[in-house]
Structure 1
Amino acid sequence: MSGAIVVGYTATDAGADAAALGARLARSIGARLHLVLVLPAEGTRSPAVVPPERAYEEHIRAQAKKWVEDAIVRLPQAITRTGHVRIAESFAEGLISAGEEFGARLIVVGAAGGGLFGRHRLGSVASELLHSSTIPVALAPAGTAGQDDHVIPRVTVAVGTRPGAENLLDEAASIATESGVGLRLVSLVPFDVPPGLDTGAIRLAGSTHAHEVLAVAKELLPLDLGAVVEEAPGDTVEDAVANLSWLPGEVVLVGSSRLAQPRRLFLGSTAAKMLHELPVPMIVVPRTRAEAGVR
């Protein structure tokens, strides 16, 4: 088996989406799935107007445990999975702690309520994770639970010109290899260059950079798995993402911002613009060097 996946679960549509994406990833890479429901420390205590009672805390935990057990039963039987109820100061803190305890490859969370079907909307938990996690975070768009796909059909990685993209490419190649699927490299160079360059120079730089990355990617992949380059069409990041073709169930990886602290996440401007248009899950990978692959 290949590591573990921690899913931030709640008994909501977003929780079901996160569980569905976690199951897809676990099945694809052969990982153990840990479904984690985090209760806030103050939420397990009885109201302040009455003395704290152990029965009240036990009631809250019992309800949480029932939610997790019900969710575990609904997951594919072929996946090795366990459920956990944790107490922490914040949901994100509890997930990061669980991720470190279980040696997680990924932490998976769903979209905030009120978002469009098939699209992302960052909530407070996802935002906190993206500012503090040392573990890659997978974001499930709304409606993921309603999809019938059981494995990842392709891995896409968005690459820019920023140095330090080796970790991003390594992670993308690793997921593609373990899933037995091809790797698509999408060049974001046209949106990641200094202002003032003419269009021809930008396109030339993008094409050159993309093929350099392709050569590296092919060295990382097994011979029977392919890697291709696709230049993002359009004049803006949003146009590019909207005009790209996306397979149902595929995932796209991006690097964290160059402004993030080493080994921590921060969703940069380019990745944030991508997120608004993406119809597929996004995995944000922490940088381990001085800069990140995609801002």
Structure 2
Amino acid sequence: MRLVVGYLATPSGEDGLALGAQLARSLGAQLDICMVLPPDRTVPARVPAETGYDDILASRAQRWLEEAKSSVPSDIDVDVHLSFHESFAQGLLDEVTRLGAQAIVVGAAGDGLLGRHSIGSVSTELLHSAHVPLALAPRGARHSTAKQIREITCALGTRAGADVLLRTAVRTSELMQAPLRLVSLVALDPRNDLRDHRDTPEDIRERAVAHAQSTLDTARSALPEEFPISVLIADGSTVESAVRTLDWQDGDLVMVGSSRLAQPHRLFLGSTAAKMLRVLPVPMVVVPKQEFPHSE
């Protein structure tokens, strides 16, 4: 298994690298640190004519990559890659395909609040075009003291793709040997597939409980008998307030599915997940709408 980290020599890049190391250790995966530079056609006057500007950029970037590689703990297999592309996001996706990687990890934009997510242009482009799961590190993730993922929280609704998300979360929890916490979002979604326009609050709650129990039974059937797994219903007047009621600890990870608007095998961050992202203090992994081929 291989994980691609989209790296820049910035605090945001360090956040992504720190999360990548946690994920790689938890999964027993190789970490591929990738830097994508734009092919700059405007050569500064101070660069000698016989020296290619791309060569100077590449030399500097290679030093940054080697420094990043040296910062990764020695128990993790790591390699570095440098490429040129007009689009940082597309350059990363090309590397994912070339390397046969199973996921992408990036840091939040640098203007986010500490411990919160702030989606920048690269993350936005990846959220609309990636064909593998995308792990988003909140600002300050580089300060985490967790060596690996402590617990996985899977936020589930009832729309198309929820079954793929659940299977992915179950498989990931088992690979990581990390407890799985299932959170039902049914009660928070006015357009969920279980709701009727005549429903009372009691009806909504009852259906949310039934959905949570069904989800738990499905997950349990796919996991070893004694595997630690729990389920709860997210309660609150808004998605943001419900997420704030949940307990979060260093080393936790949230998995969400793609919107019903997503193209097959592509990501698209839905409105509920986007609201969660604004208040989450832990990393989020967005899973494509349909499953993709896995390589061991």
Shorter-chain TM-score category?
Answer: over 0.9
Cα deviation, 1:131-181, whole Å, max 9, x if unaligned, reads 000011000000000111111111110000113322111111111111111
Equivalent residues in 2 for 1:43-54, closer than 5 Å: 43=40, 46-47=43-44, 54=51
Q: Does 1:146 align with 2:146?
A: no
Runs of 4+ displaced beyond 6 Å = 48-52
CA RMSD of aligned residues (A): 1.8
Does the 8 A contact of 1:193 with 1:202 survive in 2? no
Q: Tell me, yes or no, if the aligned pair for 2:188 and 2:235 is still in contact at 8 Å.
A: no
SS in 1 for 2:181: strand
Aligned to 2:92: 95
> What is the CA deviation profile of residues 238-293 of structure 1, one whole-angstrom value per residue up to 9, with x for unaligned ones?
0011110012111100001101111111111000000011000000000118xxxx
Instruction: Check if 1:274 corresponds to 2:271.
Output: no
Please name the residue that 1:136 is paired with.
Answer: 133
2:261 counterpart (253, 256, 259): 259
Aligned residue for 2:173? Answer: 176
Residue in structure 1 matching 2:25, options 5, 24, 27: 27
CA contact (8 A) 1:96 1:133 kept: yes
| Residues 104-119 of structure 1 aligned to structure 2 (within 5 Å) | 104-119=101-116
SS at match of 1:101: helix
Specify whether residues 55 and 49 from structure 1 end up closer, same or farther in structure 2 by C-alpha distance, changes over 3 A only: closer
Measured in 1, the distance between the counterparts of 2:110 and 2:116 equals 11
Between the aligned partners of 1:162 and 1:52, the Cα distance in structure 2 is 58
Q: Which AA in structure 2 matches 1:262?
A: P
Out of 279-288 and 191-200, give the one that drifted further. Answer: 191-200
1:227 maps to 2:229? yes
CA 1:198–1:122: 2 relative to 1, 3 Å: same
Tell me the SS of whatever aligns to 2:126. helix
Question: What is the letter of the counterpart of residue 22 of structure 2?
Answer: R
Q: 1:236 — aligned with what?
A: 238
Give the Cα separation in 2 of the matches to 1:133 and 1:52: 39
3-state SS, counterpart of residue 115 of structure 1: coil
What is the deviation of 1:88? Answer: 1.2
Secondary structure of the equivalent of 1:109? strand
Shift of 1:14: 0.3
Give the match's secondary structure for 2:102: strand
SS at match of 1:208: helix
**Match of residue 294 from structure 2:** none
Aligned CA distance change for structure 1 residues 186 and 48 (closer, same or farther; 3 Å): farther
Q: Normalising by structure 2, what TM-score? A: 0.92
Q: Secondary structure at the match of 2:260?
A: coil
User: Distance between the aligned counterparts of 2:117 and 2:22, measured in 1?
Assistant: 18
Give the length in aligned residue pairs.
286
Question: Letter of the aligned partner of 1:118 in structure 2?
Answer: G
CA distance in structure 2 between the aligned counterparts of 1:26 and 1:153, rounded to whole angstroms: 13
Tell me the amino acid that sits aligned with residue 169 of structure 1: L
Gaps of 5+ in 1: 290-295
State the percentage of identical aligned residues.
48
Write out per-residue CA displacement over residues 162-202 of structure 1, whole angstroms, 9 at most, x where no aligned residue: 13322111111111111111110000001224374321111
Return the letter of the residue paired with 1:180.
Q
Distance 1:131 1:179 in 2: 27
Preserved contact between residue 152 and residue 250 of structure 1 (Cα < 8 Å): yes
* 1:210 paired residue number: 212
Conservation of the 8 A alpha-carbon contact between 2:47 and 2:53: no
AA aligned to 2:59 is A
Matches within 5 A, 1:47-66: 47=44, 54-66=51-63
Calculate the TM-score normalised by the size of structure 1.
Answer: 0.92
> 1:225 deviation in Å?
1.5
Structure 1: which amino acid aligns with 2:212? A
Give 1:104 shift. Answer: 1.6
